[in-house]
Structure 1
Amino acid sequence: MKRRTFAMSILLPFALAACGGDSEPGPGPGQEVPPEMVPYLDAMKRAATFMSEEVAYKGGYVWSYLPDLSRSWGEMEAKRTMLWVQPPGTPSMGHLYLDAYHATGDELYYKAAEQVALALIEAQHEAGGWNYIYDFAGEESLKDWYDTIGKNGWRLEEFQHYYGNATFDDAGTAVASQLLLRMYLEKKDERFRGPLYKAIGFVTESQYEGGGWPQRFPLMGKGGEPDYTSHITFNDDVAGENIKFLIMCHLALGESQLLGNIERAMDNFVALQQPAPQPAWGLQFTQDGKPAGARTYEPEALTTHTTANNIQQLLNFYNMTGDEKYIARVPEALDWLDKVRLPSELLEIFPDRTHPTYIEIGTDIPLYVHRRGSNVVNGEYYFDKDPAKPIGHYGQARKLDVDAMRARYEELAAMSPEALTAGSPLKITGPAALPRYFSLREVKLEDLYAGATMTTAPVTAEDAQRLVGELNAEGYWSTKITMITNPYKGPGAAEPFVEDTYATTHVGDRNDTSPYDPAKAPATYPAEESPMGISVESFIKNMGVLISYVAPVQ
């Protein structure tokens, strides 16, 4: 699953300058362009024109398409009239276009970014956030999608029910909100100001008194009753993403009143760390601070990857504030992660992994999730303590570098208070510039410090030349589509399916609309090859390489 980490491997040849609407973009049409750069700039324009004029639907994008656009996919199959908000979807494309504008000064890219931002404004929920998807054909068309394709995706339970609200899951709302912030800062266009502040209001109004956030808001569940989506969630780093966005707004807009929301959110990490002898965190928590389950393959348990992420965030908070409350119990959590490592005899089942995902509350014994059946109608998930035949679509073991986390803790703990918080974004007063590029790699908290520069290794001429040569006559990079789906053909059979054919596969029988890689299809499927098509993720990565190559050294 790509989601929020999809395109963070692109390398840049220079320190990435900041932008806050005051910095000038690079050379645009008509300005002096070195002749040797013309082929690369032409390739970028051809690719962007194709995507914005041929592939986009009213400014919106999903994740991948067949060449004739007859079928398209986000995390599931999408109607042509839909956009996908989850990365690498519509907001990710907007960030890329704005980055290309910063690199070249060509208004073509700004217009493409503007088109994306306006599509997101139409898709914005009245509360201020975004759902995973939006359908320009209207509410009834969207509900039809949920009642057919969504309802029959066995492993994608978040799409089996239409809530009608917005979600923080998978960083969709965070990435869309960041794009509106950047678009407003770029030219102070008032069309973007209202939706931006609506998005800020969504983050602040949905925040619980204790500082955490639910997964979805306004609060509602199936049948109108609250369900797991109302729990305080750390899944997909919801709290970390919201903190980062609020810090960006504090910096770029001078909205210092958001510092209170930020502090409450940081304190919530401290408050929800569980007591010894299990000083860890789960994916979700009830309002009284107890770990809670969510989807049926997410049992009530402590989770090692969430614990590792929260340790890193606490170290970030200490780095920004110098307040020792944020690291007071970090050593306990690190020791616990060492304690629950996978035993050597399980490394054959979980190669290149170090820790089980789920740990039973009260015992420190790993829990493993399994499934039986063949589709969402006759199938079910269950968990036990047997590591054999775990589900394949949700990792039951993780690779965590506890030694690196411990070294970072020791390094920060040894620093003087002055050195520790130097340049902290929480201590900056008045509007300050944001990083200039957002799509080329993830913007991290350390990139928001005063005087920070985002640097990476260089892109070679060979890499750039290869991409120019691979751009086809139509204007896109033809790419293998490695996640496809069975077309919807109705609900699956309700008769029990007792074999274990689909126990570890990403997709069940032919009635399952969950995505799968053709190269890893169940044994019951005929052999098939991945179709060639148009990939938003590949477009963003390839454009990132070319941006890196043509942009002037700052």
Structure 2
Amino acid sequence: MKLFTLTLTLVTTTFLTTLGSAQDKATDYLDKRWSEVANKMPSDWYGSNEAKLVAENVLLSQKAIGGWEKNKNFHHHFSESEKADYRNNKNKIGATFDNGATITELKFLAKVYAKIKDDRYRQAFRKGLDYIFVTQYANGGWPQFFPVRKGSVAYSGHITYNDYAMVNIMKFLKEIGSDTEEYAALQLGPNIITKAKRAFDKGIQCFLDTQIVYQGKPAVWCAQHDSITLAPAKARSYELPSFSGSESVGIVQLLMDIDNPSKEIVASVNGAVQWFENNRIEGIKIETETKKDGRKNRIVVEDKNAPTLWGRFYDLETSTIYFCSRDGIKRKSLAEISDDRRNGYSWYTNAPEKVLKRYPKWLAKNQKSMN
């Protein structure tokens, strides 16, 4: 009897533990970021009832033009007022590629459609894909927002590399053009695949055409470029035309991913790598101190053993790092700018190290293209 009771207890405990674990998996998506839910949930989850609920939000929030707004938690419950707001503002501007928007939603729809063949998901995906094609400039670039916002945010019409906006689009198009398994269920067809390839190729040409030439050699890129002249362009008041030590990384990595690169692409990568090599910042690290009033403050500390850093922005004439407050005046050190910009913005990066680590292997692989 004792043995039976012990066995029953163990079985019951195991069952409850398994049930609890399953319930946790069914609800823990609410605690995640939207980008994680859209891209990183277990494959089976995208066929769940929870995924269906999220998909309804994604369908409802899609703009009439085909894109989505940024920084929205589409996996959270929508109140009736929120639903009404999305319905009433479908024609209002706000669709964007900023912060991963539109690309994230399209990837999610593809995953859900692969599990649940609801044709509304497929139609929304095609509409979003058409948005990408329509918004591409003739020169191959993409704006941050389309339609472009007016007034003080008109910079949203610039060709935007900031926060990897265009790089995200290009990676997505490369996947579509490669007819990867991830999108097989959508049955996009040869015409769409060809269109994606052409859009991708135009984007590559835009990268090559916008690369800044410094002292007669290709260098890196600005975070945004004028949509007509292709010149480095200003965005927010503290984001001046410059060499970007951050956003340029994603472009170079994408160029390095191309098989059998042209001589132009090889020259572009070589030039960017050399610029990264020439503009290393050694012997410092960034720390956060606590001031007497309890506020946090970022400071630069000397440390000969610190890993290499690069600045976010470099002057176009001198190729020297600079910092900027909202007044738009360049300054030489982090300590010279306002508290909100010093502590609320990233002025240093180690991202170029990724490129430099890949470069020797890439160089060896593409020696023939250099002859």
Q: TM-score by structure 2 length? A: 0.74
Asked if the contact 2:237/2:328 (under 8 Å) is kept, the reply is yes
Same amino acid, percent of matched pairs: 21
Find 2:311's aligned residue among 345, 353, 356: 356
Query: Counterpart of 1:217 in 2: which secondary structure?
Result: coil
Find 1:342's aligned residue among 256, 277, 281: 281
Query: Counterpart of 1:227 in 2: which secondary structure?
Result: helix
Find 1:367's aligned residue among 306, 322, 331: 322
Question: Measured at CA, do residues 141 and 116 of structure 1 come closer, stay the same or move farther in structure 2, by a change above 3 Å?
Answer: closer
Q: Which amino acid in structure 2 is aligned with residue 115 of structure 1?
A: L
Task: Deviation per CA, 1:46-100: give whole Å up to 9, x if none.
Answer: 1244457xx6xxxxxxx67xxxxxxxxxxxxxxxxxxxxxxx22x5324455624
1:194-213 alignment to 2 at 5 Å? 194-213=123-142
- Which residue of 2 is the match for residue 297 of structure 1? 238
- 2:89 counterpart of 1:165: no
d(CA) in 2 for partners of 1:302 and 1:43?
Answer: 52
Residue 404 of structure 1, CA deviation: 0.9
- 2:160 counterpart of 1:241: no
d(CA) in 2 for partners of 1:298 and 1:274?
Answer: 17
Asked if the contact 1:181/1:249 (under 8 Å) is kept, the reply is no
Q: Which amino acid in structure 2 is aligned with residue 392 of structure 1?
A: N
d(CA) in 2 for partners of 1:44 and 1:366?
Answer: 51
Find 1:313's aligned residue among 228, 237, 254: 254
d(CA) in 2 for partners of 1:99 and 1:324?
Answer: 40
Residue 202 of structure 1, CA deviation: 0.8
Residue 248 of structure 1, CA deviation: 3.1
Q: Which amino acid in structure 1 is aligned with residue 37 of structure 2?
A: M
d(CA) in 1 for partners of 2:323 and 2:126?
Answer: 43
Question: Measured at CA, do residues 195 and 40 of structure 1 come closer, stay the same or move farther in structure 2, by a change above 3 Å?
Answer: farther
Q: Which amino acid in structure 2 is aligned with residue 396 of structure 1?
A: W
Residue 221 of structure 1, CA deviation: 1.8
- Which residue of 1 is the match for residue 107 of structure 2? 178
Question: Measured at CA, do residues 41 and 164 of structure 1 come closer, stay the same or move farther in structure 2, by a change above 3 Å?
Answer: farther
Question: Measured at CA, do residues 352 and 369 of structure 1 come closer, stay the same or move farther in structure 2, by a change above 3 Å?
Answer: farther
- Which residue of 1 is the match for residue 335 of structure 2? 388
- 2:357 counterpart of 1:410: no
Asked if the contact 1:358/1:368 (under 8 Å) is kept, the reply is yes
- Which residue of 2 is the match for residue 112 of structure 1? 50
- Which residue of 2 is the match for residue 397 of structure 1? 348
d(CA) in 1 for partners of 2:157 and 2:235?
Answer: 10
Query: Counterpart of 1:349 in 2: which secondary structure?
Result: strand
Task: Deviation per CA, 1:269-292: give whole Å up to 9, x if none.
Answer: 111111132621010000211111
Find 2:148's aligned residue among 219, 227, 230: 219
Structure 1 residue ranges without an equivalent (≥5): 1-34, 56-62, 65-87, 103-108, 143-162, 372-379, 418-554
Find 2:36's aligned residue among 92, 115, 136: 92
Query: Counterpart of 1:308 in 2: which secondary structure?
Result: helix
- Which residue of 2 is the match for residue 9 of structure 1? none
Structure 2 residue ranges without an equivalent (≥5): 1-11, 87-91, 287-298
Question: Measured at CA, do residues 198 and 406 of structure 1 come closer, stay the same or move farther in structure 2, by a change above 3 Å?
Answer: same
Residue 229 of structure 1, CA deviation: 0.4
1:134-173 alignment to 2 at 5 Å? 137-138=81-82, 164-173=93-102
Query: Counterpart of 2:324 in 1: which secondary structure?
Result: strand
Q: TM-score by structure 1 length? A: 0.51
- 2:209 counterpart of 1:256: no
d(CA) in 2 for partners of 1:261 and 1:38?
Answer: 52
Asked if the contact 2:174/2:200 (under 8 Å) is kept, the reply is yes
Q: Which amino acid in structure 2 is aligned with residue 386 of structure 1?
A: S
Asked if the contact 1:368/1:396 (under 8 Å) is kept, the reply is yes
Residue 333 of structure 1, CA deviation: 1.5
d(CA) in 1 for partners of 2:347 and 2:243?
Answer: 13
1:516-531 alignment to 2 at 5 Å? none
Question: Measured at CA, do residues 97 and 331 of structure 1 come closer, stay the same or move farther in structure 2, by a change above 3 Å?
Answer: closer
Q: Which amino acid in structure 1 is aligned with residue 335 of structure 2?
A: A
Residue 42 of structure 1, CA deviation: 3.0
Residue 339 of structure 1, CA deviation: 1.4
Task: Deviation per CA, 1:91-148: give whole Å up to 9, x if none.
Answer: 532445562437xxxxxx5221121111101011111111123775259979xxxxxx
Q: Which amino acid in structure 1 is aligned with residue 225 of structure 2?
A: F
Asked if the contact 1:353/1:397 (under 8 Å) is kept, the reply is no
Residue 409 of structure 1, CA deviation: 2.9
d(CA) in 2 for partners of 1:124 and 1:95?
Answer: 18
1:503-542 alignment to 2 at 5 Å? none
Question: Measured at CA, do residues 259 and 388 of structure 1 come closer, stay the same or move farther in structure 2, by a change above 3 Å?
Answer: same
- Is the helix fraction higher in 1 or 2? 2
d(CA) in 2 for partners of 1:275 and 1:211?
Answer: 19
Q: Which amino acid in structure 2 is aligned with residue 395 of structure 1?
A: S
Number of aligned residue pairs = 312
Question: Measured at CA, do residues 370 and 398 of structure 1 come closer, stay the same or move farther in structure 2, by a change above 3 Å?
Answer: same
- Which residue of 1 is the match for residue 294 of structure 2? none
Asked if the contact 1:93/1:113 (under 8 Å) is kept, the reply is no
Segments ≥4 residues shifted beyond 6 Å: 35-40, 139-142, 345-348
Asked if the contact 2:266/2:369 (under 8 Å) is kept, the reply is no
Q: How big is the alpha-carbon RMSD for the aligned residues of Structure 1 and Structure 2?
A: 3.2
